[in-house]
Chain A
Amino acid sequence: MTTEYKLWIGLPGRFPDEVDRLMSLLNASVAAGESNIHLSPERSKSFDWICDRRWTVHEETPDEAGWVSLQTSGTTGQAKWVRRRFDDILAKKRGRGAPQDRWLLCYNPARWAGFSVLAHVFKTAAQLVVPRDLEPRSIADAMPSATHLSLTPSMFRKLLLYCGSGISAMPVRQLTFGGEYASQKVLDDARKIWPQAHITHVYATTELGDICAVDDGNEGLPQHKLRNWQITEEGELMVDAHATGDLWEQRGDRLIFSGRREEVINVGGAKVHPARVEAACIAVADVVECRAYAVKNALLGEVVGLDYVGSIEPQQLRALLLSAVPKFAVPAKIDRLDALPLSAAGKILRRALK
């Protein structure tokens, strides 16, 4: 037995190809064992650019009806399933919307950030604009067809690079930042480019979903918008007794982001666990020991840095890693050392060289 929902998708121009792309993205994730969402084609009516699809939530047992499960790498680097009831996801969607809103999909719809956009489009009966793929160039090409954007601050910066000053001409009415911390600079730049747009930044975790949405134009979280929260002695934000893994500091009546508790590196929204990069280095090259860490970067927020001990040249190591790990996990800074510093307990010091 399956539970079926209707999803309206509005697509400009190349509608059959774009719907197929959305289906491919979702079905590929199912084939890879990363999600349980199937999108079954069934067209009941179509105009130039609107089609009706039935969205099937696949279940393995009757108890699974209405559940959505997607994989996430989370904060530990180990893939895990996060399950939520589709109706609960919809219930938490509080944003306003209208059928003429055209949301540009800038995230993988088989990940929670992208699925959140689909759920919002579904709940508000708005329209979805699907780019050729999720590369910045393709997203930039699709922007003239969209009025609403949900994207990471890093994707926003990339689009500025790709589009240049022409970005101001895009008909953006709503801009929602998520996936990374939205700095005051990002919010101010967006305001300058689209002074008429409504700009929101959302703080969410995969485990808890949306925690807080802010649209007052300032970075950070207003404390009055949070429920059941506390900051631990270490500075970690707890919500509903759940550890977010994020460190925040209180400044006046707001919380300002100050880093991650774990060592996870956030490269433009893509999470990289250092241990995976280190394991890949040792597997592909003559590396004795190594340490991956986050390097702050003006464009992507963070990029991966790597220190290693071994005979291979840095450029050769980078070339090998390009075939071994996702591009965003390839270190942007690679330094060969004679030895890595150790703590008193004999462990590689993770932060000493950051």
Chain B
Amino acid sequence: MNKTLEQVVDFMKSEIESVSLGANAAAEVRETDEIIADLGLDSLDYATVMLRCETWLGIKVNEAAADWRALRTVGQLAAFLHSHQ
């Protein structure tokens, strides 16, 4: 059964907290936060969060489908992954 967008956002926030070793508390992460610029994650952290979400959703994102310029915020990435279920 597909997850709702809200569920994807909440899961992503918890993974961001985990990957950042608690530096970004899930409750304080906003959907409008840029994952790298605002939350201070690097590209490997970003890739880790994305991979964990893919695993949880049971999907695999193809490089061809990703426009990285438009996947900078928590909300944007969550919506993208949600749409690939």
Q: Are A327 and B66 in contact (CB under 8 A)?
A: no
Tell me whether B69 and A160 are in contact (CB under 8 A): yes
Residues of A in contact with B (beta carbons under 8 Å apart):
135-137, 154, 157-158, 160-165, 167, 183, 185-186, 189, 267-268, 295-300, 303, 315, 319, 327-328, 330, 332-333
Q: 8 Å CB contacts to A: which residues of B22-73?
A: 36-37, 42-44, 46-48, 50-52, 55, 60-72
Select A299's contact among B64, B68, B70, B72, beta carbons within 8 Å: B68
CA distance A160 to B36 in the complex (A): 12
State in angstroms the CA–CA spacing of A189 and B70 once bound together.
Answer: 13
- Identify whether the interface residues of B are mostly helix, strand, loop, or mixed: helix
B64 touches A300 (CB 8 A): no
Which residues of B lie under 8 Å from residue A161 when comparing CB positions?
Answer: 36, 43, 46, 68-69, 71-72
A267 near B44: Cβ-Cβ < 8 Å: yes
Q: Is the CB of B18 within 8 A of A303?
A: no
Q: Which residue of B44, B61, B65 is within 8 Å of A327 (Cβ)?
A: B44
Chain A residues within 8 Å of B42, by CB: 135-136, 327
Q: Do B66 and A299 have beta carbons less than 8 Å apart?
A: yes
Q: Which residues of B sit under 8 angstroms from A164, Cβ to Cβ?
A: 69-70, 72
A252 to B66, CA, bound (A): 28
Given A158-B43, A164-B69, A298-B63, also A332-B21 (CB < 8 A):
no
User: What bracket does the count of chain B residues touching chain A fall in?
Assistant: 20 to 34
Query: Is there an interface contact between A303 and B48, defined as CB atoms closer than 8 Å?
Result: yes
Determine whether the beta carbon of B55 is less than 8 Å from that of A298.
no
Question: In the complex, which residue of chain A has the Cβ closest to the Cβ of B43?
Answer: A158
Measured between beta carbons, the chain B residues less than 8 angstroms from A158 are 43, 68
Further 9 A-B residue pairs, CB within 8 A, beyond A298-B65, A300-B43, A327-B42: A137-B36, A154-B43, A160-B68, A165-B69, A183-B63, A185-B64, A295-B51, A328-B44, A332-B48
Q: List 23 A-B contacts (CB under 8 A).
A: A137-B36, A161-B36, A161-B43, A161-B46, A163-B69, A164-B72, A183-B63, A189-B67, A267-B44, A268-B44, A295-B51, A298-B61, A299-B47, A299-B50, A299-B68, A300-B47, A303-B47, A303-B48, A327-B42, A327-B44, A328-B44, A332-B44, A333-B51
Contact of A319 among B21, B36, B61 (CB under 8 A): B21
Assess whether A185 is in contact with B44, with CB atoms less than 8 Å apart: no
Residues of chain B within 8 A (CB-CB) of A135 are: 42
User: Once the chains are docked, how many angstroms separate the CA of A183 from the CA of B50?
Assistant: 20
A137 to B60: give the CA distance in the assembly, Å: 27
Q: How far is the CA of A315 from the CA of B46 in the complex (A)?
A: 16
Top 4 closest pairs, chain A to chain B, by CB:
A160-B68, A332-B48, A298-B63, A158-B43
A298 touches B66 (CB 8 A): yes
Chain A residues with Cβ below 8 Å from B64 are 183, 185
What residue of chain B has the Cβ atom nearest to residue A300's Cβ?
A: B47
Asked if residues B68 and A157 are in contact (CB atoms below 8 Å), the reply is yes
From residue B57, how far is it (CB to closest CB) to chain A in Å? 14
